[in-house]
């Protein structure tokens, strides 16, 4: 008859397991304590912002720096998750920009708009927002006639491109031309 040495194995394994568990538990416990201490050291409420709190905006294109250290009340960004506004004290975040309008609300004066074809926005905890756009311009610089022609060509390419690559290029162009169409106040479905 074959003997299984399960009892001895379990005693040895159990001792090793119990020792590892105690060590892991004490390490895990210390990590939890450190995290709790770090959390309690941080203020539980958000920083109080004064009426003069402003957002520092840096907005750049490959060809130029549109704004550097410009103090603004708010900026509204077009992202893949939708549009959202950033004000002083906003939580840190990195957001991918999609084609659309960036709207800037300066300290004083009229809001300013820029069309961007894409890029990234970096919101820092110290009330700084860095916007890096691939391309951008004032909506007034966009030509509605050229947009309409580009929109028609992009639709054609997206639907009837000779290859999958052409169809994908058409889809990307279509997204940009639709956003440009909205930027100049024209519904792309009616263009």
- Give the separation between CA 84 and CA 99, rounded to whole angstroms: 14
d(CA 173, CA 152): 10
104-159 pLDDT tens trace: 999 877 899 999 999 999 999 999 999 999 999 999 999 999 999 999 999 999 99
- The DSSP H or E segment spanning 67 is strand 65-79
To the nearest 10 degrees (0 to 180), the angle between helices 164-183 and 144-160 is: 150
Closest by CA to 158, choosing from 180, 146, 135, 175, is: 175
pTM given for the model: 0.69
């Amino acid at each position: 008859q074959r003997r299984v040495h399960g009892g001895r194995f379990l005693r040895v394994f159990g001792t090793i397991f119990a020792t590892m568990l105690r060590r892991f538990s004490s390490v895990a416990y210390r990590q939890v304590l450190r995290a709790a201490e770090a959390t309690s050291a941080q203020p539980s409420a958000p920083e109080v912002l004064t009426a003069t709190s402003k957002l520092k905006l840096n907005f750049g294109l490959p060809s130029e720096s549109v704004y550097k250290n410009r103090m603004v009340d708010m900026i509204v960004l077009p992202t893949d998750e939708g549009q959202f506004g950033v004000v002083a004290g906003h939580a840190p975040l990195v957001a991918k920009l999609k084609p659309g309008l960036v709207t800037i609300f300066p300290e004083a004066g009229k809001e300013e708009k820029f069309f961007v074809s894409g890029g990234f926005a970096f919101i820092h905890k110290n009330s700084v927002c860095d916007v890096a756009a691939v391309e951008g311009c004032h909506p007034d610089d966009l030509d509605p006639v050229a947009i309409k022609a580009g929109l028609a060509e992009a639709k054609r390419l997206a639907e009837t491109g000779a290859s999958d690559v052409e169809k994908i290029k058409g889809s990307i162009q279509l997204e940009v031309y639709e956003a440009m169409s909205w930027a100049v106040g024209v519904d792309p479905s009616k263009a």
